[in-house]
């Protein structure tokens, strides 16, 4: 990917992203000129960047625009380490992103602009917080006009948050089905009736859905609509949305995996020794980035992120991801991004041409993958043959730190208790043979006090 | 749908007519709420004169930066 359009960037006529010599630029079109100048001169850009609400950019003069007839400027936005999507965020991440979106809208209003686009996809985790990455999301505010992005905000943020808070945190996955946010009529049907007793949810979800239905496909003439939305009312709307979001909470304790470390048969010292080995492997390779697969609450991810390496900590359990995220926020950690991901069914390519939202594999390969206490879950609970697991891991990593958990381990025994043992090949020698097709084994270290073995591997060039 | 006065060439999102109308229905109410809140803050500020730093404001600030919001378990931060 050297010179090309960025595939997801096509909806907004104000401009688009493109790559040149491997660097990402954004073309700002003439049609957006007035708004761009206002953004830069009104103090809004300064305010947003200094508060860490939006990524900074540089105006570039020596890179030619892709479409010169349309172009006003070329800018180079701050780099984002890893693009994640709302259906991979836990409740608390989506909630933070929602509050930041409202704050962006509020700050814009103070500078005579309005947030025209409230897409959750426009927020990314940069420098330890959610920031707006789309510089062209603002336009000059005209008194009296309603908020054009109101529907989008409700669909992208409020609907999934309410569903997660009132039904189940796993419903974040519904955002994967509906690329422009969860439709409000479905949301209203799925939410329990008691949500109608809350002013915010009653108006922004239930009443909103009914009004949409009532006016769907109908021609509404301006002269029939007498009302205006004053700036004060708009502030009221944003405040009301903010209070609604802030009123949504979720429990993080008592999930399947979050208590895992307390329940394993590790002794304290075995756990510490395992940490020491993984740390040594990381120091040996010095990866530029790490994906920790099955990260739980990020205990091992932090061996990399604390060393200044940007680390994505994936786990299937939204509760564990929430706990990881809260810990990261409390300690102001900027190098760790916890995400919800089921490795047996990872995020696919979605949207237009399957390429608007990238699959997990397309966002790799990463310098190093950690797969600790993971193999047995995929190989035994999910029946993935070791060879196929090795192939998948070699597609997403350059270096791999992987732990083999033998059948004699009590965790594997637990998995086998309720099913027939059809895994003849699940042995140390079978594991090594299958992985050596795709990897070169650089080092292997038994974890003292257990029967497990840690490996450092390097993917073979294909 | 004709929102002639609203729709500008730059408006590439379909805002939905229902989503516009509900805002106009709510406009008055939400505007009044803002006014009340402003006066309420003034009244509260009058009685809290001399006290430094509103803790709630500081916590809200942290929230907007993606703070430890919405945590029900253990220590509640509000």
Instruction: Locate the domains of chain A by residue range.
Output: 4-77, 86-217+225-246, 260-459
Residue A395, classified by CB atoms within 10 Å of its CB into exposed (0-12), middle (13-18) or buried (19+), is middle
- Chain B residues whose CB is inside 8 A of the A100 CB are 64-66
Q: Percent of chain A beyond pLDDT 90?
A: 77
Q: Is the pLDDT of residue A306 over 50?
A: yes
What is the pLDDT at residue B27? 86
Which strands sit side by side in the sheet containing A366-371, from one edge to the other? A336-340, A310-315, A289-293, A366-371, A397-404, A453-459, A439-446
Q: Which of B6, B22, B28, B76 to mutate to test the interface with A (most CBs of A within 10 A)?
A: B22
Higher-scoring residue by pLDDT: A365, A22:
A365
- Chain B residues whose CB is inside 8 A of the A228 CB are 24, 27
Average pLDDT (A346-359) is 94
Cβ contact, residue pair B67, A100, below 8 Å: no
- Chain B residues whose CB is inside 8 A of the A230 CB are 27, 31
- Asked which of A179-183, A225-229, A311-315 is least confident by mean pLDDT, the reply is A225-229
Cβ contact, residue pair A246, B70, below 8 Å: yes
Higher-scoring residue by pLDDT: A266, A269:
A269
Q: Are A335 and A125 in contact (CB under 8 A)?
A: no
Average pLDDT (A10-32) is 89
Distance from CA of B12 to the nearest CA of A (A): 6
Q: Is the pLDDT of residue A20 over 70?
A: yes
Average pLDDT (A388-413) is 95
Average pLDDT (B15-29) is 85
Q: Which of A93, A150, A239 sits opposite B19 (nearest CB)?
A: A150
Distance from CA of A266 to the nearest CA of B (A): 26
Map residue A252 onto helix, strand or coil.
coil
Neighbouring-strand partners of residue A139:
A114
Residue A178, classified by CB atoms within 10 Å of its CB into exposed (0-12), middle (13-18) or buried (19+), is middle
In chain B, % helix, strand, coil (3-state, to 5) comes to: 55, 0, 45
What is the pLDDT at residue A264? 58
Distance from CA of B53 to the nearest CA of A (A): 20
Q: What is the DSSP letter of A335?
A: S
Distance from CA of A403 to the nearest CA of B (A): 33
Q: Is the pLDDT of residue B1 over 50?
A: no
What is the pLDDT at residue B55? 44
What is the pLDDT at residue B42? 83
Query: Residue A134 — very low, low, confident or very high, per pLDDT cuts 50/70/90?
Result: very high
- Chain A residues whose CB is inside 8 A of the B22 CB are 203, 207-208, 211-212
Higher-scoring residue by pLDDT: A164, B49:
A164
In this structure, what token pair is assigned to residue A247? 């009123």
Q: What is the DSSP letter of A61?
A: S
Q: Which of B21, B32, B69 sits opposite A96 (nearest CB)?
A: B69
Per-residue pLDDT tens digits for A147-170: 999 999 999 999 999 999 999 999
End-to-end CA distance of chain B: 45
What is the pLDDT at residue A309? 97
Q: CB count, 10 Å around CB of A284?
A: 12
Q: CB count, 10 Å around CB of A103?
A: 22
- What is the C-alpha separation between A183 and A330, in angstroms, rounded? 33
Q: Is the pLDDT of residue B65 over 80?
A: no
Q: Is the pLDDT of residue A410 over 90?
A: no
- What is the C-alpha separation between A2 and A15, in angstroms, rounded? 19
Q: Is the pLDDT of residue A268 over 50?
A: yes
- What is the C-alpha separation between A316 and A340, in angstroms, rounded? 5
Q: Which of B23, B66, B70 sits opposite A250 (nearest CB)?
A: B70
Q: Are B3 and B17 in contact (CB under 8 A)?
A: yes
Q: Which of A130, A154, A215 sits opposite B17 (nearest CB)?
A: A215
Q: CB count, 10 Å around CB of A110?
A: 13
- What is the C-alpha separation between B33 and A57, in angstroms, rounded? 37
Residue A418, classified by CB atoms within 10 Å of its CB into exposed (0-12), middle (13-18) or buried (19+), is exposed
Right CATH for A260-459 from 3.40.50.150, 3.30.310.160, 3.40.50.720, 3.10.20.30: 3.40.50.150
What is the pLDDT at residue B46? 81
Residue A203, classified by CB atoms within 10 Å of its CB into exposed (0-12), middle (13-18) or buried (19+), is buried
Map residue A434 onto helix, strand or coil.
helix
Q: Which of B1, B8, B10 to mutate to test the interface with A (most CBs of A within 10 A)?
A: B10
What's the number of CA atoms in the CB half-sphere (13 Å) around residue A154?
30
How far is residue A33 from each of residues A27, A28, A138, measured CA to CA in Å? 11, 7, 12
- Chain A residues whose CB is inside 8 A of the B66 CB are 93, 96-97, 99-100, 129-130, 329
What is the pLDDT at residue A64? 85
């Amino acid at each position: 990917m050297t010179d090309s359009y960025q595939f997801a960037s096509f909806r907004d006529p104000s401009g688009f992203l493109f790559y040149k010599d491997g660097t990402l630029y954004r073309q700002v079109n003439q049609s957006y000129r007035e708004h761009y100048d206002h953004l830069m001169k009104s103090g809004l850009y300064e305010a947003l960047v200094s508060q860490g609400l939006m990524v900074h950019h540089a105006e570039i003069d020596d890179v030619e625009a892709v479409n010169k007839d349309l172009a006003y400027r070329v800018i180079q936005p701050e780099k984002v380490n890893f693009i994640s999507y709302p259906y991979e965020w836990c409740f608390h991440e989506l909630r933070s992103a929602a509050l930041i979106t409202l704050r962006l809208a509020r700050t814009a209003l103070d500078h005579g602009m309005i947030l025209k686009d409230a897409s959750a996809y426009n927020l990314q985790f940069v420098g330890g917080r959610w920031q707006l990455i789309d510089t062209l999301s603002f336009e000059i505010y005209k008194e009296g006009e309603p908020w054009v992005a109101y529907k989008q905000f409700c669909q992208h943020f409020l609907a999934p948050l309410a569903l997660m808070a009132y039904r189940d945190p796993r419903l974040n996955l519904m955002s994967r089905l509906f690329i422009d946010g969860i439709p409000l009529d479905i949301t209203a049907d799925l939410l329990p009736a008691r949500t109608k007793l809350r002013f915010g949810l009653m108006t922004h979800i239930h009443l909103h859905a009914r009004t949409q239905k009532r006016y769907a496909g109908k021609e509404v003439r301006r002269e029939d609509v007498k009302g205006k939305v004053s700036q004060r009312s708009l502030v009221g709307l944003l405040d009301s949305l903010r209070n609604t979001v802030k009123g949504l909470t979720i429990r993080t304790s008592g999930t399947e995996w979050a208590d895992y470390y307390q329940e394993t048969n590790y002794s304290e010292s075995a756990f510490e020794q395992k940490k020491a080995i993984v740390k040594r492997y990381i120091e040996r390779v010095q990866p530029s980035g790490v994906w920790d697969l099955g990260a739980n609450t990020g205990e091992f991810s932090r061996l990399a992120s604390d060393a200044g390496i940007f680390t994505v900590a994936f786990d299937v359990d939204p509760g564990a991801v929430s706990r990881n995220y809260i810990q990261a926020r409390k300690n102001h950690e900027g190098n760790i991004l916890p995400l919800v991901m089921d490795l047996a069914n990872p995020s696919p390519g979605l949207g237009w041409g399957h390429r608007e939202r990238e699959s997990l594999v397309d966002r790799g390969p990463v310098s190093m993958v950690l797969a600790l206490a993971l193999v047995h879950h995929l190989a035994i609970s999910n029946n993935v043959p070791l060879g196929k697991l090795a192939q998948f891991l070699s597609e997403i990593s350059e270096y791999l730190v992987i732990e083999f958990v033998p059948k004699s381990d009590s965790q594997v025994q637990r998995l086998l208790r309720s099913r027939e043992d059809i895994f003849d090949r699940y042995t140390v020698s079978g594991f090594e043979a299958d992985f050596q097709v795709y990897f070169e084994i650089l080092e292997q270290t038994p974890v003292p006090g257990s029967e497990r073995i840690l490996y450092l591997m390097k993917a073979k060039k294909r | 749908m004709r929102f002639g006065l609203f729709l500008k060439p730059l408006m590439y999102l379909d805002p939905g007519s229902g989503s516009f109308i509900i805002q106009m229905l709510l406009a008055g109410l939400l505007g009044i709420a803002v006014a009340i809140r402003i006066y309420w803050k003034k009244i509260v500020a009058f009685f809290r004169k001399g006290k430094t730093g509103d803790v709630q404001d500081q916590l809200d600030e942290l929230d907007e930066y993606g703070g430890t919001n919405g945590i029900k378990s253990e220590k509640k931060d509000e």
